[in-house]
């Protein structure tokens, strides 16, 4: 059964009303008033049965999912911070300041499975719907300083492996017969170079990195010897970077 938050207008002698603690001009307070929580409840209502024990209020768990994404928190940390943050509690529909966690963090997993990927996209899209003009903008500026990116962390071993692979590609393209391509050896050395900070792997990792650099320079010198001068000048700048 779909759970909903019922507004409590009656004063409580032993609890403090959130409106007496917070600044009503705070961005989270304004955002809480702009989001259509009724629309969110109507969207997910069909995923719950009509009878039985009420679920966690949709506004509460959906609001905490939005807070989790906005502040880059984990399931556990967003619940812990919610207890001590009056603005977060107001955002999720509470009237009085709460001192106990609203639910177990594992309930996030059950809720995400229930609404599915489409439901998550709908929920996160509510913030976009507040700014309809942004959809038609020709240019959008986004600060991606702390955004996760699909870029591998650069290391000396990876750079040396890239040099080796590129040398092999150049040799195949120009029809150069290499004494050895080192494909299997370089792959194994790159694995050995991983986790070099571990005390038991430091020596092997250091030797693997050194061997990779040696192989890379060896292949570069071989290409310099075997490539015609007319072709070599196109790769001269690339070779100068690594040698």
pLDDT (0 to 100) of residue 187? 92
Q: Calculate the alpha carbon distances from 6 to 42, 61, 76, 102 in Å.
A: 16, 15, 26, 15
Residue 85's pLDDT is what? 92
What is the structure's pLDDT at 124? 79
The predicted structure's pLDDT at residue 29? 92
Q: What is the pLDDT of residue 186?
A: 92
How do the pLDDT tens digits run along the chain, 243 residues long?
677 776 666 666 677 888 888 999 999 999 989 888 888 888 888 888 888 888 888 889 999 999 998 888 888 999 999 998 999 999 998 988 888 888 999 999 999 999 988 888 888 787 666 655 555 556 656 555 555 666 777 788 998 898 899 899 989 988 889 999 898 999 999 999 988 888 888 999 999 999 999 999 899 889 888 888 888 777 776 666 555
CA quadruple 28, 29, 33, 39: dihedral sign: positive
* Angle, helices 229-242/202-226, rounded to nearest 10 degrees: 160
Instruction: Return the pLDDT at 12.
Output: 67
Q: Residue 213: what pLDDT?
A: 92
**Residues linked to residue 96 through DSSP beta bridges, in sequence order:** 17
Q: Which of 156, 153, 154 is nearest to 211 (CA)?
A: 156
Instruction: Provide the pLDDT for residue 132.
Output: 54
Domain boundaries, the chain: 18-131, 156-242
The whole-number pLDDT of residue 72 equals 86
């Amino acid at each position: 059964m779909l759970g909903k938050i019922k507004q409590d207008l009656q004063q409580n002698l032993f609890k403090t009303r959130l409106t007496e603690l917070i600044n009503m001009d705070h961005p989270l307070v304004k955002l809480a008033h702009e989001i259509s929580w009724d629309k969110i409840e109507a969207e997910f209502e069909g995923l719950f049965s009509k009878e039985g024990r009420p679920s966690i209020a949709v506004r509460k768990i959906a609001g905490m999912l939005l807070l989790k994404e906005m502040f880059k928190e984990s399931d556990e940390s967003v619940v812990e911070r919610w207890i001590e943050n009056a603005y977060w509690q107001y955002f999720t529909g509470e009237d009085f300041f709460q001192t106990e966690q609203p639910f177990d963090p594992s309930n996030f997993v059950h809720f995400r499975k229930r609404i599915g990927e489409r439901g998550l996209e709908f929920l996160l899209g509510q913030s976009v719907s507040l700014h309809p003009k942004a959809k038609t903008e020709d240019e959008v500026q986004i600060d991606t300083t702390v955004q996760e990116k699909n870029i591998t962390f650069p290391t000396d071993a990876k750079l040396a492996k890239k040099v080796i692979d590129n040398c092999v590609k150049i040799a195949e393209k120009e029809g150069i017969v290499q004494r050895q391509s080192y494909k299997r050896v370089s792959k194994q050395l790159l694995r050995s170079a991983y986790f070099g900070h571990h005390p038991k792997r430091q020596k092997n990792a250091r030797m693997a990195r050194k061997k990779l650099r040696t192989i890379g320079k060896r292949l570069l010198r071989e290409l310099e010897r075997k490539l015609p001068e007319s072709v070599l000048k196109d790769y001269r700048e690339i070779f100068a970077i690594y040698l």
